[in-house]
Amino acid sequence: MRTRIVLALSGVVVVLLGTPTPAWAHNSLRAATPAQNATLTTAPTQITLDFQQRIDPAFTTIVVTDASSRRIAATDPVVTGATGTARLTETLPNGSYLVAYRVVSADGHPVQGSYPFTVADPTAPQVAPPTPAPAAAAAPDDRRWTWLAVAAGTLATLAGLVVVTLIGRRRRARPAR
Ligand SMILES: [Cu+2]
């Protein structure tokens, strides 16, 4: 009898521990526009994040940064229920971006995370690689400085040799004790 009760109780414990935390227990991101890891052929003008619970407008932060961690200009997020929207006030050129968010949900729990997306607009003007300075124009000056450096180096070496030689002579000239 006792064994049966113990077995039944341990069964309950196993069920309680084994049950995964229900999705509604804590808030989390439900959907996002642009979507996570999306590659967009048109630059987005806003970021919309849908959470599973209402979020507190006073503690909602949505930040977009580019590949060099520069923050993209955006409005403060507008919160409606479980949705936060930040409007981007600059046009995103082609490249990869990171959306970082931090919200406080109705139950008081902070939720934060980040995800990347990519803008690849085929009609966007191609960013030209930086044009190297014409080699011919820079060469004469560079060459002059190179020769000066070589001459200075040679002089320094010669001076060093002279000093070493003089010291050596003086040592040899000293009478042995
Ligand atoms: Cu929670």
β-bridge mates for residue 84, sequence order: 49, 79
pLDDT digits (tens, 9 = 90+) for 42-101: 999 999 999 999 999 999 999 999 999 999 999 999 999 999 999 999 999 999 999 999
Q: Which residue has the higher pLDDT, 99 or 164?
A: 99
CA 140 to ligand 1 centroid distance, Å: 69
Over range 21-36, report the average pLDDT.
Answer: 81
Task: Provide the token pair at 124.
Answer: 């966007």
Lowest-confidence pick of 10-24, 30-44, 76-90, 96-110 = 10-24
Count of beta carbons in the 10 Å neighbourhood of residue 134? 8
Number of C-beta neighbours around residue 146 at 10 A: 10
Mean pLDDT of 16-20: 46
Distance 12 CA to ligand 1 centre (A): 24
Enumerate residues with CB within 5 Å of ligand 1 (an ion).
Answer: 26, 107, 109
Residue 47 and residue 35 in contact, taking contact as beta carbons nearer than 8 Å: no
CA distance 73 to 92: 10
Q: What is the pLDDT of residues 128-155, one digit of tens each?
A: 556 665 555 545 555 666 666 767 776 7
- Determine the Cα–Cα distance for residues 76 and 82; give it in Å rounded to an integer: 16
d(CA 29, ligand 1 centre) in Å: 12
Q: What is the 3-state secondary structure (H, E, C) of 87-151?
A: EECCCCCCEEEEEEEEEEECCCCEEEEEEEEEECCCCCCCCCCCCCCCHHHHHHHHHHHHHHHHH
What is the distance in A from the centroid of ligand 1 to the CA of 26? 3
